Amino acid sequence: MKNRSCPAEVIERVRGEEGELQLQRRGQEFEFIFNGVFLMASYNGVSEKEMVSAALNIQPQSFPVPPFSGGEDTVAAAAKKDCALRVLMGGLGMGLGLQEALRFPGVARVDVFELEEAVVRWNRGPLKDLNGGALEDPRVNVFIGDIVEYLRKKETTLKSEVEQYDVIILDTDNGPGWLSRPKNEFLYSFQGTRLLKKLLLPGGRLSVWSSSPVPFYLSLLKSLFDNVWEKELLEKTGQTSYYYLAVKQAL
């Protein structure tokens, strides 16, 4: 991509919860660097946006029902859930996924968990124009903390007290196949995925970003959900990204 040849301007470098985090600008684009390694960039936002829009606007014709699924009824029921939607997002990033979620008028509430305070601050500052001031939307609740810890606490919560969501978006780390933070393994484990399913309402959707295809994770999702898809996307840079979309059976 043309902007990749521009020199990087460091906006801020901070010591975060898990290491050094850096925000830099390259031309008109922004990049996150984590412990000296490239983490994400605004020019790689195609998959981040589509994984959100697919979960919120799922259509049976767009995602053909695979042989292992329970049929189109589950998908059709999910597509009809178009009002007062509650969304849980793991990872704020540059706010592009959040911005996409807020485009849907049926979304009534978005709870966002972000580990790093600096990322939230950057979204309200240098990245505000990029994401359209998404954090200023009154439907958004931001929690600075670890979504892994949040989910582990839910394991011990009585079923009647568990708050459920229509959509859960996981854009955390590099996906299930390449972790920069070992603790995130729980998110993609059988135990963690089963818990995420429990937090979904009937007909709810789980959408998970990944930097590469992960066969074991696809198999895991198929063992727990009625309808599962793996989608490959081409970013503006020519790189490929992936996301997984799973639908919980409707009542």
Question: Which residue out of 111, 171, 173, 226 is catalytically annotated?
Answer: 171
Task: Write down the domain spans for the chain.
Answer: 44-247
Between 147-156, 221-230, 236-245, the lowest mean confidence (pLDDT) is in 147-156
State the Cα–Cα distance between residues 12 and 56, nearest whole angstrom. 34
Per-residue pLDDT band for 6 (boundaries 50, 70, 90) equals confident
The whole model's pTM is what? 0.87
Between 34-43, 60-69, 213-222, the lowest mean confidence (pLDDT) is in 60-69
Mean pLDDT confidence for 59-85: 49
The domain defined by 44-247 folds into Rossmann fold (3.40.50)
Which has the closest alpha carbon to 222: 175, 184, 179, 190?
190
State the Cα–Cα distance between residues 131 and 128, nearest whole angstrom. 5
Alpha carbon 145 to its chain centroid, in Å, reads 15
CA angle 223, 226, 227 (to 5 degrees): 105
Residue 146 annotated to the active site? no
State the Cα–Cα distance between residues 186 and 188, nearest whole angstrom. 5
Q: Report in angstroms the alpha-carbon separations of 10 from 23, 24, 25, 27, 33.
A: 6, 4, 6, 12, 10
Question: In the predicted model, is pLDDT for residue 234 greater than 60?
Answer: yes
Question: In the predicted model, is pLDDT for residue 81 greater than 60?
Answer: no
